Homo-oligomer: A and B are copies of this chain.
């Protein structure tokens, strides 16, 4: 058995059975091994950003790592941006990156590059393997490395001679790492703050936003009068009817400061102090009040549900039912607005949909408008790497089969990774893309105004996307995804119903 085959067999034994791939020559022996050791579902992408973004979406929903397979050096570099997002989302991913043969690399062939240097900033585990004989053990450790709490990328750099050399031995699966418990002191400290009667904010992220943990957080907030909130961007939020209502720290610094200014205590659960996305002259980096007391109940790598449960016990906060809120009536006619479109999505979406949010400047109305929608998961781009939406949706559909994925996608951002549509068509994934088209980088016009600069001709040329307009219906069609444009609420409702009823992807463009 060669090294590559021992790697495939180890991955399968370790529960990694889906691989997002864009292979090259240095990965050829791994590809050949996939046919000798069957069981790995391979999902091809035309660009590596789709590979890594999809692995992020898959891991967030499946709660286990997919493998990625990328080509040595520059191929892997093309996937870094969405590994950055995955890092911030704490998503377990196992990256397999081919490399030059160990003895060939010193001759500096054209594709030789420093893969380790590129991998380290986005990986919580990196290893360049050197021997076929130990590759199985390396691979099992890599899977464990990806699942190490809170979860992240493990990047296994695989020289081609290690792949093709005989002597491979499949590694036994290693235990899935269990997150540590937070300390008793941390629980008592948080309890004291919540009992103080002073205004307290419980800021939760990561695994604290999965349904069970979130319900406990809600019970604590309801029982103590504290407020529950999440950072501006999160990997996955359980929300909709019957789920605890959750506010989000606003993106604009001034709004965030205003919203948080009255809190005396900050209870952090799986996240840090709320930090502004960017710095602005004269504005703070941390948007919570400087004099608020900070209480770290649990860090991201801790067992967040356990920490919340122990805090609820300490505070004697029993489970609470979330008050029933009837769905709002959706407008069925009239001009197309973001608010109207959001109400229609909320009214028509199936239960347990997955909403992927790369709506950028149009997020607020859609987030507000789906508060009372059927129960769903809301996935964001916590790393801020633009273009994450379409790949994320692609992977989420594979990580949660049977659930409808709905992407709220700005048109500027969509252009970075439009190749994801091809993979959606190829795998016939139930992804409905709602393309929010304004033909500009709207956020940059806003930011320019915020720094007090008038938009001169150069700035306008860099932020407008009208010369030429991308024809998104043709883009989708060229990649095998049917698409249509909605100009009114009526036509949007019709298209939505059709898209949700069909098996497979569809794209609806909204001109907003």
Chain A residues in contact with chain B, CB under 8 A?
21, 23-26, 28-29, 31-32, 34-36, 38, 40, 42, 44, 46-47, 49, 71, 73-75, 77-78, 80-82, 84-85, 88, 100-101, 103-104, 107-111, 113-114, 117-118, 120-122, 160-161, 164, 233, 272-273, 275-279, 281, 285-286, 382-387, 412, 415-416, 418-419, 422, 425-426, 443-444, 447-448, 451, 453-454, 456-459, 461-462, 465, 467-475, 477-480
- The reply to whether A164 and B81 form a contact with Cβ atoms under 8 Å apart is no
Please determine whether B275 and A109 come into contact, CB atoms closer than 8 angstroms. yes
Once the chains bind, are B103 and A285 in contact (CB under 8 Å)? yes
Given A81-B77, A84-B73, A467-B426: A44 and B103 within 8 A (CB)?
A: no
- Beyond A26-B278, A31-B444, A74-B80, list 11 extra A-B contacts (CB 8 Å): A31-B448, A31-B462, A35-B458, A74-B84, A74-B384, A111-B384, A113-B122, A161-B279, A164-B281, A422-B468, A470-B479
A to B CB contacts below 8 Å, 7 in the list: A32-B448, A35-B458, A101-B278, A109-B275, A110-B277, A111-B385, A471-B477
Question: Contacts A111-B277, A117-B120, A426-B468: A49 and B78 contacting too (C-beta < 8 A)?
Answer: yes
Closest beta carbon of chain B to A462's beta carbon, Å? 5
Copies of the chain in the assembly:
2
Instruction: Check B451–A32 contact: CB distance below 8 A.
Output: yes
Chain B residues whose CB sits within 8 angstroms of the CB of A457 once the complex forms:
35
| Shortest Cβ gap from A219 to chain B (Å) | 29
B77 and A77 contact, CB distance less than 8 A: yes
Nearest to A458 among chain B residues (CB) is B34
The one of B21, B104, B469 in contact with A285, judged by C-beta atoms closer than 8 angstroms, is B104
Q: Out of B44, B286, B386, B462, which one reaches A75, CB within 8 Å? A: B386
Known: A382-B110, A458-B31. Is A278-B100 also a contact (CB below 8 A)?
yes
Kindly report which residue of chain B lies nearest to residue A34, judged by CB atoms: B458
Q: Which residues of B contact A275 (CB under 8 A)?
A: 104, 107-110
Partner of A108, one of B73, B114, B272, B387: B272
A417 to B406, CA, bound (A): 26
What residues of B have a CB within 8 angstroms of the CB of A107 in the complex? 273, 275, 285-286
Cα-based distance from A467 to B427 in the complex (angstroms): 9
In the complex the two chains form, is B28's CB within 8 Å of A444's CB? yes
Could you tell me if A47 and B456 are in contact, using CB atoms closer than 8 angstroms? no
The answer for the CA separation of A100 and B422 in the assembled complex, in Å, is: 34
Q: Are A85 and B74 in contact (CB under 8 A)?
A: yes
Bound-state Cα–Cα, A120 to B118, Å: 9
Q: Is the CB of B444 within 8 A of A25?
A: yes
Query: Which residues on B sit within 8 Å (CB–CB) of A385?
Result: 73-75, 77, 111
In the complex, what residues of B have CB within 8 A of residue A448's CB?
28, 31-32
Closest 9 CB pairs of A and B: A35-B456, A468-B480, A74-B385, A101-B279, A74-B81, A104-B279, A32-B453, A474-B478, A77-B80
